């Protein structure tokens, strides 16, 4: 390729980028002008977009683009100068020109001279009605407007073209964002960066066990020092030789030096671990943010699609969008485009009535569809509603009976929620005839399937005469998944929360035998009970608890209880794909790393439900043996909670009681000190800021007391600055937990690190 050809290729790519950005401006502006043709700001924005495209097309030698943009600019200037009032036919023609410009700017386009001549003649006829119309040919219109998703695999950065004085600066959406330069990075490199940052975050968590071990060693040394002092006290009455006294003094000195060195290194490791964890978290959050895109990126062309589809059906429809800036993972955005398009087309076709019907019902002739995006509890929540007529429940009931999906008696007793679930069945449609838009039975079932693939859920609600509302919940990112981690056969497995109906403890009397299979009662129905160890081919673990731990999973109408050995807790896991050489691993979708660096496998719930059906059909489902509690129990460990906040005291008390510990409480440091001197405890948990005696004073007194100085101490405080942590640890605390980052698992995990499980 010659230098001139390389320069031309670069300019053509820039022209394509600019056309993409400017046609979006044109589409949005023209749709606004359709509602109010005299909006000066929208007229100006559209005119400048057409003018910029005309200048850019002239620079790169795309004559077709010059011709189309020129007649569009003439039309918009006439409207600005009040020589022309934009009618629906003008908006239609300008939108056709917008599509035509995008096709012209797309490499390998199929636009010929006849298309350009036909469009120019159409625009000239609209601008001057006196011109003859005999030679006007209809302009081909794409069945769907151009809607380019702004998430793509980008080519290498082209050489920048020299600026042209007569044209405004070109700022395409892919080149700048929010006034900042956008760097082009391949998806593979971005995924690799996220993977490395997630592993870095997990690796920093592996420092916690080392720190806990050093803290335990620190306590052992304190006990050794006390034992040596006790030995010295017992030997002194016997009269020691000078050599023996010097040996004891040397032992005491060396032990003291070792204790001081260990305390220093423990503090350094604690500080390093805290700082490394903070930096790894920032690194991971930043890498994850690089994958996030505004929700508006999936909406390109949707407003236009709703408008065009409505006009083709003889309806007036407007789409309003809230939350365009809501950040979502690019992979989720790509997979959301198809289900959203399904739902929007469904709302226009089935939901919105004809204008005359709306007027008779006291509604405005123009129908309204609202799409709202927001973040809630780590999920992207989408609400798509329309002000149409809603679902005709009686017609739906009749269709269910006509298609032999239910008997008449059963259908008459179905609730509204139960009736609406039939709309999600494969092949189900309320249309009697097939049209270009609907009637084939491919719609809501496909939407539900695509949303399920995103580990999400979709629910339909409706009010007769008032419209319908679809509620979708999907993860913000597919890179992480909120899961319940359980133990099966002494191995960790994770169930994605999106597929969990509930988790429960079943008593032996709750399990019943029906037709040779084990069931339990859940929400008015019998649910089958299956052992996770059989599904995952793990040896049954030893569990002497009186109750059985069960995870209730659901996928569409399939619901089962999966019995596990232990609930470890909820975790946010970074998804690590399995090696492709393994192929599809039965019942497993991916892997992840826990905080301690151990591996956990993420369960493929859909695959697991298929495995359950297979076991049922082949008659190989094993019965779960009921377990009884041991006759004798070891004494429970005692914890003293000292905090002046009633809410904090009660929260910590309940958490520890539920885990099996015995708990006493004190309202301040003085009350806690009196309790410590009068009772025996295995652990002290204290706040810092308290009346009468604060936590630092309490810990200092405890460490000076020969009977209590070896008692493990945890500080739980709102103060999370490094100097506050140092102050608490220097006073003698073994663990420092900030309330700002406090959650159930953090407290319980720390207690287990310090004193082990609830039984002695």
Q: What is the pLDDT of residues 558-573, one digit of tens each?
A: 788 999 988 988 887 8
* Residue of 182, 103, 118, 125 whose CA lies nearest to 150: 182
* 688 and 668 Cβ atoms separated by less than 8 Å: no
Q: Say whether 651 sits in a helix, a strand or coil.
A: helix
Residues pairing with 50 in the sheet = none
Q: Measure the CA–CA gap between 286 and 477, rounded to whole angstroms.
A: 14
Q: Residue 673: what pLDDT?
A: 92
Q: What is the largest CA-CA distance in the chain?
A: 130
Instruction: Provide φ and ψ at 527, rounded to 5°.
Output: -115, 130
Q: Residue 203: what pLDDT?
A: 75
CB atoms within 10 A of CB 317: 22
* 656 and 614 Cβ atoms separated by less than 8 Å: no
Kindly tell me if the per-residue pLDDT of 175 is higher than 80.
Answer: no
Kindly tell me if the per-residue pLDDT of 431 is higher than 90.
Answer: no
To the question of domain 322-349+367-468 being in CATH 3.30.2350.10, the answer is no
**Residue 322 CA to chain centroid, in angstroms?**
19
pLDDT in tens, 510-542: 888 766 678 888 777 788 888 898 888 888 766
For residues 63 and 463, the model is more confident at: 63
Q: Residue 136: what pLDDT?
A: 45
Second CATH level (architecture) for the domain 3-143+174-181: Up-down Bundle (1.20)
Confidence of residue 618 (pLDDT cuts 50, 70, 90): low
- Cβ partners under 8 Å of residue 527, min gap 6: 519, 520, 521, 552, 559, 560, 561
638-755 matches 480-618 in CATH topology: no
Q: Residue 383: what pLDDT?
A: 92
Pairing relationship of beta strands 379-386 and 467-475 according to DSSP bridges: antiparallel
Which residue in the block uniquely carries the two structure tokens 């407290």?
747
- Cβ partners under 8 Å of residue 451, min gap 6: 339, 457, 458, 472, 474
Q: Residue 427: what pLDDT?
A: 67
What mean pLDDT is predicted for residues 353-368?
A: 90
pLDDT in tens, 677-720: 888 899 999 998 888 899 999 999 998 888 888 899 999 887 77
Rg from Cα positions in the chain: 35
C-alpha separations of 70 from 64, 111, 583 in Å: 10, 17, 56
Confidence of residue 354 (pLDDT cuts 50, 70, 90): very high
pLDDT in tens, 714-757: 998 877 777 778 888 888 888 888 766 556 678 888 898 889 88
Q: Residue 7: what pLDDT?
A: 44
Kindly tell me if the per-residue pLDDT of 611 is higher than 50.
Answer: yes
**Residue 36 CA to chain centroid, in angstroms?**
39
What mean pLDDT is predicted for residues 244-270?
A: 86
Most confident region among 77-91, 281-295, 425-439 by mean pLDDT:
77-91
Q: Residue 481: what pLDDT?
A: 80
Kindly tell me if the per-residue pLDDT of 351 is higher than 70.
Answer: yes
* Residue of 651, 631, 626 whose CA lies nearest to 641: 651
* 99 and 145 Cβ atoms separated by less than 8 Å: yes
Retrieve residue 108's tokens: 């390998």
Sign of CA dihedral 54, 58, 60, 66: positive
Q: How would you label 464-476 residue by residue, b for 16+ Cβ within 10 Å and e otherwise?
A: eeebbbbebbbbb
For the chain, the average pLDDT equals 80
Q: Residue 592: what pLDDT?
A: 85
Q: Residue 346: what pLDDT?
A: 85
Q: Residue 450: what pLDDT?
A: 83
User: Does this model's pTM top 0.75?
Assistant: no
For residues 566 and 621, the model is more confident at: 566
End-to-end CA distance of the chain: 79
- Cβ partners under 8 Å of residue 318, min gap 6: 35, 306, 307, 366, 367, 368, 369
Kindly tell me if the per-residue pLDDT of 133 is higher than 70.
Answer: no
% the chain with pLDDT above 90 = 9
Q: Which long-range contacts (CB under 8 A, 24 or more apart) does 84-90 make?
A: 84/127, 85/37, 86/33, 86/34, 86/37, 87/37, 88/34, 89/126, 90/126
Kindly tell me if the per-residue pLDDT of 237 is higher than 90.
Answer: no
Q: Measure the CA–CA gap between 425 and 442, rounded to whole angstroms.
A: 9
What mean pLDDT is predicted for residues 156-164?
A: 38
Q: Residue 685: what pLDDT?
A: 94
CB atoms within 10 A of CB 17: 19
* Residue of 528, 530, 539 whose CA lies nearest to 488: 539
Q: Measure the CA–CA gap between 440 and 419, rounded to whole angstroms.
A: 20
How is the chain split into domains, by residue range? 3-143+174-181, 188-293, 322-349+367-468, 480-618, 638-755
Pairing relationship of beta strands 292-294 and 176-177 according to DSSP bridges: unpaired
What mean pLDDT is predicted for residues 358-372?
A: 91
Confidence of residue 602 (pLDDT cuts 50, 70, 90): very high
Pick the CATH number of 480-618 from 2.40.50.180, 2.40.10.220, 3.50.50.60, 3.40.50.720: 2.40.50.180
Q: Residue 410: what pLDDT?
A: 83
Q: Residue 562: what pLDDT?
A: 92
HEC assignment per residue over 76-105:
HHHHHCCCCCCCHHHHHHHHHHHHHHHHHH
Most confident region among 123-132, 235-244, 471-480, 491-500 by mean pLDDT:
491-500
Q: Residue 594: what pLDDT?
A: 80
Q: Say whether 390 sits in a helix, a strand or coil.
A: coil
By residue count, the chain amounts to 760
Kindly tell me if the per-residue pLDDT of 442 is higher than 50.
Answer: no
Q: Measure the CA–CA gap between 476 and 559, rounded to whole angstroms.
A: 26
Confidence of residue 655 (pLDDT cuts 50, 70, 90): confident
Could you give the angle at which helices 88-105 and 302-312 cross, rounded to 10 degrees?
A: 130
What mean pLDDT is predicted for residues 394-399?
A: 85
Residues pairing with 549 in the sheet = 505, 564
What mean pLDDT is predicted for residues 258-276?
A: 86
HEC assignment per residue over 4-63:
HHHHHHHHHHHHHHHHHHHHHHHHHHHHHHHHCCCCHHHHHHHHHHHHHHHHHHHHHCCH
Q: How would you label 206-243 residue by residue, b for 16+ Cβ within 10 Å and e otherwise?
A: ebbeebbebbeebeebbeebeeeeeebeeeeeeeeeee
CB atoms within 10 A of CB 133: 9
Q: Residue 430: what pLDDT?
A: 65
Q: Residue 682: what pLDDT?
A: 93
Kindly tell me if the per-residue pLDDT of 148 is higher than 80.
Answer: no
Retrieve residue 352's tokens: 């919105």
Kindly tell me if the per-residue pLDDT of 159 is higher than 80.
Answer: no
Q: Residue 165: what pLDDT?
A: 35
- Which DSSP symbol is given to 440? S
HEC assignment per residue over 171-190:
CCCCCEECCEECCCCCHHHH
Second CATH level (architecture) for the domain 638-755: 3-Layer(aba) Sandwich (3.40)
**Residue 705 CA to chain centroid, in angstroms?**
50
């Amino acid at each position: 390729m010659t230098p001139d050809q390389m320069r031309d290729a670069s300019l053509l790519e820039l022209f394509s980028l600019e056309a993409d950005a400017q046609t979006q401006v044109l589409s949005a502006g023209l749709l606004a002008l359709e509602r109010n043709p005299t909006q000066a700001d929208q007229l100006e924005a559209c005119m400048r977009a057409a003018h910029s495209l005309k200048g850019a097309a002239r620079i790169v030698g795309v004559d077709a683009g010059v011709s189309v943009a020129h007649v569009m600019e003439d039309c918009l200037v006439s409207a600005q100068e009040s020589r022309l009032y934009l009618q629906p036919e003008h908006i239609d023609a300008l939108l056709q020109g917008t599509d035509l410009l995008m096709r012209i700017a797309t490499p390998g386009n199929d636009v010929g001279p006849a298309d350009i001549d036909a469009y120019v003649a159409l625009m000239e006829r609209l601008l001057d009605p006196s011109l003859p119309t005999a030679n006007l040919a209809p302009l081909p219109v794409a069945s769907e407007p151009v809607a380019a998703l702004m998430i793509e695999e980008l080519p290498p950065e082209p050489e920048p073209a020299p600026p042209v004085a007569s044209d405004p600066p070109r700022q395409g959406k892919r080149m700048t964002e929010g006034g900042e330069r956008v760097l082009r990075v391949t998806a593979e490199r971005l995924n690799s960066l996220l993977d490395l940052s997630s592993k870095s975050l997990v690796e920093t968590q592996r420092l916690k066990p080392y720190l806990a071990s050093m803290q335990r060693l620190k306590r052992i040394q304190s006990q050794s020092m006390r034992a040596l002092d006790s030995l010295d006290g017992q030997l002194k009455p016997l009269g020691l030789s000078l050599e023996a006294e010097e040996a004891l003094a040397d032992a005491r000195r060396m032990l003291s030096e070792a204790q001081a060195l260990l305390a220093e290194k423990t503090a350094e490791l604690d500080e390093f671990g805290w700082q490394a964890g903070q930096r790894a978290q920032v690194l991971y959050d930043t890498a994850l943010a690089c994958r996030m895109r505004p929700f508006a990126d999936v909406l390109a062309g949707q407003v236009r699609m709703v408008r065009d589809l409505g006009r083709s059906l003889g309806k007036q429809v407007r789409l309003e969008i809230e939350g365009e800036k809501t950040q979502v993972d690019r992979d989720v955005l790509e997979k959301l485009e198809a289900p959203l398009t399904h739902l929007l087309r469904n709302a226009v076709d089935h939901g919105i009535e004809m204008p005359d019907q709306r007027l008779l019902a006291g509604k405005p002739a123009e129908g309204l569809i609202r799409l709202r995006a927001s973040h809630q509890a780590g999920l992207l929540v989408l609400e798509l509603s329309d002000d149409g007529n809603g679902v005709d429940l009686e017609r739906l009931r009749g269709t269910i009976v006509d298609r032999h999906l239910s008997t008449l008696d059963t259908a008459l007793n179905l609730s509204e929620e139960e009736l609406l679930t039939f709309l999600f069945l494969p092949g189900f449609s309320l249309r009697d005839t097939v049209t270009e838009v609907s009637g084939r039975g491919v719609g809501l079932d496909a939407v539900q399937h695509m949303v399920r693939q995103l580990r999400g859920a979709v629910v339909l609600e409706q009010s007769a005469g008032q419209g319908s509302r679809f509620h979708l919940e999907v993860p913000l990112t597919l890179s992480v998944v909120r899961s319940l981690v359980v133990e099966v056969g002494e191995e960790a497995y994770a169930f994605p929360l999106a597929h969990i109906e509930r988790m429960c403890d079943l008593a032996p009397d709750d399990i019943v035998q029906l037709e040779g299979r084990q069931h339990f009662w859940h929400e008015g129905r019998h649910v089958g009970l299956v052992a996770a160890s059989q599904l995952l081919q793990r040896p049954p673990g030893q569990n002497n608890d009186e109750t059985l731990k069960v995870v209730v999973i659901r996928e569409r109408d399939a619901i089962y209880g999966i019995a596990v050995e232990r609930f470890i807790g909820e975790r946010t896991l970074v998804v690590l794909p399995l090696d492709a050489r393994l192929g599809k691993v039965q019942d497993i979708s991916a892997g992840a790393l826990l905080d301690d660096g151990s591996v956990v496998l993420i369960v493929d719930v859909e695959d697991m439900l298929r495995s359950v059906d297979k076991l049922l059909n082949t008659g190989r489902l094993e019965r779960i043996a009921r377990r009884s509690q041991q006759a004798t129990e070891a004494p429970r460990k005692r914890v003293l909670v000292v905090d002046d906040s009633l809410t904090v005291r009660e929260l910590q008390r309940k958490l520890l009681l539920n885990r099996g510990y015995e708990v006493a409480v004190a309202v301040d440091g003085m009350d806690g000190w009196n309790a410590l001197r009068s009772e025996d405890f295995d652990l002290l948990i204290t706040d810092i800021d308290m009346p009468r005696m604060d936590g630092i004073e309490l810990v200092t007194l405890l460490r000076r007391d020969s009977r209590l100085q070896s008692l493990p101490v945890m500080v739980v405080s709102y103060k999370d600055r490094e100097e506050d942590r140092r102050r608490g640890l220097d006073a003698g605390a073994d663990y420092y937990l900030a309330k700002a980052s406090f959650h159930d698992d953090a407290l319980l995990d720390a207690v287990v690190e310090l004193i082990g499980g609830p039984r002695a």
